[in-house]
Every structure is written in structure tokens, then in C-alpha cells.
Chain A
Amino acid sequence: MNIRRSSNGFAFLVLLTGLVMVIVFNLTGIASAQPKLKVGILHIGSIADAGYNQAHAEGAQVMKKNLPSVELIEVENVPEGADAERVMENMIRQGAQLVIPASFGYLDPALRVAKKYPDVKFVHPGGYKLAPNLGTYWASTPEAFYLMGVAAGKTTKTNKLGYVVALPISFFLANVNAFHLGAQSVNPKVETRVVFTGTFLDPGKEATAANALLDQGVDVVGVIVDSPITVVQAAEKRGAFSVGYHYIGVQKFAPKGWISGIAFTWGELYTRFAKQVMDGTWKSEALLGDLSSDYLTIAPFGPGVPSAGVELVNAKKKEFISGKLNVFQGPIKDNKGVERVKAGEAFPIAALGKMDWLVEGVMGQAK
């Protein structure tokens, strides 16, 4: 009895010392180190898809590397809707002060959660709505696609380019149009063929679509689906060239035929967001970057691109940044022969969401 009581007393002592140590350690921790920031990020798919999701995930990793005081809570494969709301609330309960719902479809769930937790900041990619504590960010891609077209137009041997695209939605049509206009600007004989797969993820169908294009003599294949791996590999296997999108590291899937790619490099932007939240300067805004932004990058060129092509891309990139060049500069006709942009005018970038036609020279059906 006596022994037990004394051992209990000992345990109590140990516990007390431990508790005091934890408190002291924590206090000194708060006093000395920078304030910690917990950042929650949600992904719609796998972060190893070499596509959309991996670009966001690597951005978060760069932020963490830049700011050691940042702690990351990362969740993959979160369905859009109520599940996304639950995951965000869970992150906030764990102490997240900045949440990145990294998919277009998370917009409405994020707005609902943002209303509930006005002290937590949210940044959402590509949205069109703002809230006092929810900002949006994206980069305008047609200029970059135009540059890819320039590189492709200089590289192609058959003068036939192709694109495998998930769905004929306006922003994708604008990208394909820009790509073709870029190619045409350096190679008037070029034509671009588009195949829509009708889905963002069906590797079997994507491979069949890429092969259908290659069967028509296409020797440069670009891709706008969730993960570019299948299409880029299919082109490589048949000795054709390829153009990537979203993630910067696609080249390893097509070392020979790689031309280049449009890549989102979110790291520095995420670092700025985190810093702003930490020092209290963050404010809700709609950021739309362009080629001059550090988060829209032209990926390294592959061995098949002639050096004249690389130089042209770099020169035109400068012209875009200085405002000398405009992708949708009239006159532009669509592939049904209808005039869409008059001579001397330019299609406003703000209206890209309404683009429902393909330019002359593109073989494909916009609807």
C-alpha cells in the first residue's frame, strides 16, 4: 500500500515536471522563433500526376522550403462539394490560417467555409468570385500557348500539328487557337487538328486519340487533360514531338520528342501569400498573371527544337511582355469562314470565357 502510494507520488512528480517543461519550451518557442503558419492545401487528384495537381503540390513544397516556419497540411483526392468543405474545416480546426483549395470546383465550398471562418484566409485558383477573406489567382495562358505554337511551327516536318483536349470549353479553345496562331505566324503552311476526348481522365482513350492524330501525319501533339503522361508517351513511342501543359517536369516522359511546355510554377506566389498572411498585409484580390509573372513559365526546350525557334520564342515573349504583340489581333476568321475579329482590333482577353469558335486553319468542331 505504502509502496504504491509512493510510486504514485513519483509518477505525479514526473508528470508535473514534464508539464512544466512543455509549457516553458512552448513559451520560449513562441518568444524566439518566427510565428508559425499552418497552410492547408486540397488537391482534386493525385499529386504525382505530372499535371495540374503536381504543379500545385510542388508550389506548396517550394513555399515550405522558402519559409521554414510554414507547416503544411496537404490532402489529395478530395471530391468537390461537401467533402471539400469538411476537409477545409478540419484543416482550420488543426490551426490552418491560410487555405488553398486548389481546384476550380472548390470555389463554392470554399466560399461557404470562408464565410464561417472570417479570420482564415483563402486563395483559390482561377475563380471568378471574391470574398473579404477569399482571393483568387491564375495566369492568362493564350500568350504562352502562342509561344508553344511558334516552337512547334519551327519544329514540325509534316506541317501538321495536333491537340488532344478534354472538352471544347472556351478557355481550352482559346489556348488551341493561340497555339495555331503562333504556329502560323512562323509557318504559314501549318494546320492544327483537335480531338476532344470528352473526359479529363481516360488514358485508354487519350492514347487512341493521340494515335488517331499521328495516323493523319501529325508530328507535334499537345495535350490539355488532367495528366499529360499518356499522350506525351504515345507521341514519343511513334517518334513524334510533344508539348506539355501544367507541370514543368513532363520532359522525362518524352526525352527525344519534347518541344517545351506551359508550366505553372506556383512556389514564389504561394510564398508571398504565406508571408502576407503572417505579417497581416494579405488582402483579397483577383490576381491574373501573364508571361512576366514568376508563376507562368515556359518549360525547358527539348533537343528537337531548332535554335532559330528558341530565339523566336524568346523574342516574341519579350514582345508580349512589352505589350507590342497581341495573340488575338485581327483580322481573324473562324474555321467556318466567319469573321470574328476585325482588322485593327484585338479580341479582349477579358472575353476569353465567351470564345466558342476555332480559328481558320484548325480542323475541329467547337460545339
Chain B
Amino acid sequence: MVGSSLQGLLSGSIIAGTPLLYATLGEVMGERAGIVNLGLEGVMLMGAVVGFSTTVKTGNPALGVLAAALAGALFNMIFGFLVIERRANQLASGLALMFCGVGLSALLGAPYIGSQIKGLNEIRIPILSDLPVAGATLFHYDILVYLVIPIAILIWWALFYTRWGLSLRAVGEKPTAAFAAGKHPYRLQYQALFIAGLLGGIAGAHLSLAVANTWAEWMTAGRGFVAVALVIFSKWHPLRAIAGALLFGGAIALQLQMQARGVPVSPFLLDMLPYLLSLGVLAVWGGARRHAAPASLGQVFRGTE
């Protein structure tokens, strides 16, 4: 009984944490290039709705994920145009993008509310899935769950062990220096935002195609903002984001598991758990300044004039 509860908690955390992690990884990428995107919520919603509608039309959730990633990336390009090309304020543009995504996804999704889909299949890993304890929980997920950790590692490697990543981080720290070294700040920022959009779209698709198997208006319910907070929490590091997303997903799963187990604590209090946990961890970690934000985060590169 306790074992099955633990398993439930673990699998609940992993499933609730996966969309958060995709979104957080995307935001890490963007912020490393110096751009804060508060519109992540809207990007996720676009991914969720395009992924769902594509799956309804084609019957193929894999195509749905692909379409969602592209939709997220293209939608993020609007943001890129605003903050890079037009040099608009990042926070204001992000919020505008968020509301635009909420409205547009509601409009696009209206015909698909109540549609039935066969979501992403669970994939069992032959030997590991049959292991008695861990096997029951760790190895029967959809493909996006299995891919998220390798993608986090890939991003970590790309950011910290490639020339491209070095340039990208340089743009986030000091764009003028990167420019003087012969890099293209704008091009790199567009690239970062494109990848962030891909990941944000996948995050939304995981919600609509694997977790809930439904489309509902504003179904992200604030997860985009949680992801922005998780970036700070993970100190702009893709690997620490894994822990952050798992912890936050775990807090969501834990409070629901506690209710299901009949733990005598008020549901209102339990609902605060994820946020209390975030506050607690930020309070403990907040002092260390060594891996702080990219120096030019939120500032606009104005060329060399």
C-alpha cells in the first residue's frame, strides 16, 4: 500500500513535471540569450491547441507533437520580431503575447472542444518495465517523458560545450562584446527564441495529448508562469531545471495524493503546497549569487551606435 502510494507519487510528479520541464528548458534558452519571455503561457497554449487539433484531424499524435512544436516556434517569432526587430519592451511584449495566445488558442480550439483523440501511447521498455517496484512507475510513459531528460542534457551540452552556446551566452551577458567578437546578437537571439518556442509548443502538446487528452480553454492554467519562475529557481541551468520541475510537479502530485490518502489537512492549505515549497526553496537558495542571471537579461541590444 505504501509502496503503491510512493509509486503513484513518483509517476504523478513525473507526469505533472514533464510539461513544466519542457517549458522551463525553452525559457532557459531564451534567457541565456538575454530575453525574458513572459508570453510562454501563450506559446504553450498554441502548442496545446495546434497539437490537439492536428491529432483530431490526422489521428496521429506524433504529427500533433510536431505541429505543436512548429506552432510554438512560429508564435514565438512574433515575440522575437517585437523585442529584437522593433526593440519593444520585453515584459510588456511578453504579456501581450500571452493574452494573444490565450485568445487565439480559444478561437482555434473552439471547434475541437469535446473531440475524442487517442493520445500519445505509453511505451513500455521491455526488461525495465517488468522490474517489481521501480518498473511499475518509471518505465511506462509516453515518448515525451522519455525524451525530456536527454533534451535537457542536449541543451546543457549545447549551451556550455559548443561555440554556438558560448556565443549565445555571450549575447546574454554582454551583447556588445559578442558583437565585437564577430557574432550576430540578433541572429542568435532569434535562434534561441525559435528553440524556446519549439519546446514551449511541445510542453503544451504534452498537456493536451498525453496528460489530459482534451483541449480546454486556458488549460495551461498558469504553468507558463510557473516555468518562468522555475528558470530563476534553477538559476538558468538546464540540469538544475530537471530538479526544479520534478520538485514542483511533485508538490502538485503530492497534495492530490495526500487528499486521496485521506490525510487530515485542509484542501485549501494543500493547494498552496507547491507555492509554499517554491518560497521555501528560494529562501534557502536565494543567498548564493554565483550563478545569477545573465547580465544583459531583459535589455535590448541597440547595435553599436
Contacts and interface: CB of A to CB of B under 8 A. Distances in A.
Interface string A207-227: 111011101111000000001
Interface stretch (B73-81, B163-171, B181-189, B218-226): B218-226
A268 interface: no
A4 to B, nearest CB: 48
A48 interface: yes
A49 B114 contact: yes
A194 B265 CA distance: 13
7 contacts: A168-B267, A194-B259, A203-B211, A203-B212, A213-B260, A215-B12, A216-B8
A234 B278 CA distance: 29
Interface string B80-117: 00000000000000000000000000100010011010
Contacts of B114: 46, 48-50, 54, 227, 229
Contact of B113 (A46, A193, A208): A46
Q: Which of B5, B214, B219, B266 has the most CB of A within 10 A?
A: B214
A207 B218 CA distance: 16
Q: Which of B220, B259, B260, B267 has the most CB of A within 10 A?
A: B260
The 8 closest A-B pairs by CB, nearest first: A215-B8, A363-B262, A203-B212, A48-B114, A212-B260, A196-B267, A212-B256, A202-B221
Contacts of B257: 212, 215
B260 A162 contact: yes
B213 interface: yes
Contact of A212 (B8, B221, B264): B8
A202 B219 contact: yes
Interface of A: 45-46, 48-50, 54, 76-77, 162, 168, 193-199, 201-209, 211-213, 215-218, 227, 229-230, 233, 252-253, 363-365, 367
Contact of B259 (A46, A54, A230, A365): A365
A202 B12 CA distance: 15
Interface in B122-167: none
A215 B7 CA distance: 8
B58 interface: no
Interface string B220-252: 110100000000000000000000000000001
Contacts of B116: 252-253
A208 B12 contact: yes
Contacts of B7: 215
B12 A212 contact: yes
Interface residues of B, number: 41
B293 interface: no
B261 A216 contact: yes
A45 B12 contact: no
A61 B218 CA distance: 27
Interface of B: 4-5, 7-8, 11-12, 15-16, 19, 106, 110, 113-114, 116, 207-208, 211-214, 216-221, 223, 252-253, 256-257, 259-262, 264-268, 271
A363 B8 CA distance: 18
Secondary structure call for the B interface: helix
Nearest to B263: A365
Given A162-B260, A194-B259, A204 B12 contact: no
Given A46-B217, A207-B211, A195 B113 contact: no
B260 A230 contact: no
B297 to A, nearest CB: 29
Contacts of B110: 46, 76
A208 B216 contact: no
Nearest to A211: B12
Contacts of A206: 212
A196 B212 contact: no
A215 B4 contact: yes
Contacts of B223: 204
Contacts of A49: 113-114, 216
Contacts of B221: 199, 201-202, 204-205
A233 B214 CA distance: 9
Given A204-B19, A230-B212, A209 B256 contact: yes
A54 B262 CA distance: 33
A201 B259 contact: no
Contacts of B11: 211
A252 B117 CA distance: 12
A213 B256 CA distance: 8
B216 A203 contact: yes
B216 A364 contact: no
Nearest to A214: B8
A202 B19 CA distance: 14
Contacts of A252: 116
B41 to A, nearest CB: 13
Nearest to B4: A215
B208 to A, nearest CB: 8
Contacts of B12: 208, 211-212, 215
Given A212-B259, A215-B5, A365-B264, A230 B16 contact: no
A284 B133 CA distance: 63
Nearest to A363: B262
B253 A212 contact: yes
B267 A211 contact: no
Nearest to B271: A198
Nearest to B19: A204
Contact of B267 (A48, A50, A216, A365): A365
Nearest to A201: B216
